Amino acid sequence: MSGHSKWSTIKRKKGKTDAARGKIFTKLIKEITVASRGGGGDPGSNPRLRTAILAGKSQNMPQDNIKRAILKGTGEIPGVVYEEHTYEGYGPAGVAIFVECLTDNKQRTVAEVRHILSKYGGNLGENGCVSFIFQRQGEIQVSAEGVNEDELTDAALEAGADDLRDDGEVFAVITPHSELHTVRDTLEGRGYKIESAELVMNPNTTVTLNESQAMSFLKTFDALEECDDVQKVWANFDISDEVMSKLSAV
């Protein structure tokens, strides 16, 4: 299991505070708005919007919030216009970092990302310096409760998935990015409980961190995720189960 997946699992087990949930809602509303602006307000013909709405529903976002975000995106009600930007760089121990942002002020965003990376011993690089390390794929998280792994694997592969990973409380079904919704709909139709479905950046190679490196890097990771303009952070770190268990106890 990649370090990114392990850390996500730990945070899921710890639970989300109300403040954190509010920040998640803000990021999801931005994504729904931008998706609507770029591809229209009909999720049936706009895969990106459909993914964003599913993500919102997985976080129990109220339907009214989703509707307002769509209307802002289509211009039916006024709202802030966000632009998409990505930033690439390195964190502690040379971990590659790919940051996806939605912002109404590019200068503010790049300054904040640069500051965070520098603060924790990393640095902001040029576009393209680490993106080649990652592969855009779909990832569907299926509740593991009562699920036979072999049966799920067969169903996922038949639907067009590439792989399946056991993440403990969930199984992560990995798909080509273009097949995310097809595989998701097929699995849901066969009775599997879908926790989430999203496009991810999976690393082709990873950097294994010791305990001190992991603690330093995860501070960087969390600081980036806390940034209002940052939507998602991807990194090619890996952490052993022994180190991860120590960190989860902190």
Relative to beta strand 237-239, strand 207-209 is: parallel
pLDDT reported for residue 32 = 96
Q: For residue 20, what are the contacts with CB-CB under 8 A and spacing of at least 6? A: none
As a whole number of angstroms, the distance between CA 147 and CA 145 comes to 5
At residue 99, what are phi and psi to the nearest 5 degrees? -115, 125
Residue 111 lies in a domain: no
- SS3 for 4-65 is HHHHHHHHHHHCCCHHHHHHHHHHHHHHHHHHHHHHCCCCCCCHHHHHHHHHHHHCCCCHHH
Give the CATH number for residue 19: 1.10.10.200
Contact 142, 193 (CB under 8 A): yes
From 27, 44, 74, the end of a domain falls on: 74
Residue 105 lies in a domain: no
Give the CATH number for residue 155: 3.30.70.980
Phi-psi label, residue 203: left if phi above 0, alpha if psi -120 to 50, beta otherwise: beta
From 25, 50, 74, the end of a domain falls on: 74
Largest CA distance in the chain: 52
Instruction: Specify the length of the chain in residues.
Output: 250
pLDDT reported for residue 137 = 94
- Measured at the alpha carbon of residue 133, what is the angle toward residues 129 and 136, in degrees to the nearest 5? 115
Residue 139 lies in a domain: yes
Residues linked to residue 137 through DSSP beta bridges, in sequence order: 176, 200
Residue 241 lies in a domain: no
Residue 181 lies in a domain: yes
| Token output for 134 | 């990652």
As a whole number of angstroms, the distance between CA 146 and CA 137 comes to 26
- Measured at the alpha carbon of residue 36, what is the angle toward residues 32 and 40, in degrees to the nearest 5? 155
For 160, the domain range is: 133-203
Residue 151 lies in a domain: yes
As a whole number of angstroms, the distance between CA 186 and CA 192 comes to 9
Residue 88 lies in a domain: no
Tell me the average confidence (pLDDT) per consecutive run of 10 residues in the chain, 250 residues long: 54 50 85 94 91 88 95 92 96 95 96 96 95 95 95 97 91 94 94 91 92 91 92 91 75
Residue 161 lies in a domain: yes
Report the domain count for the chain: 2
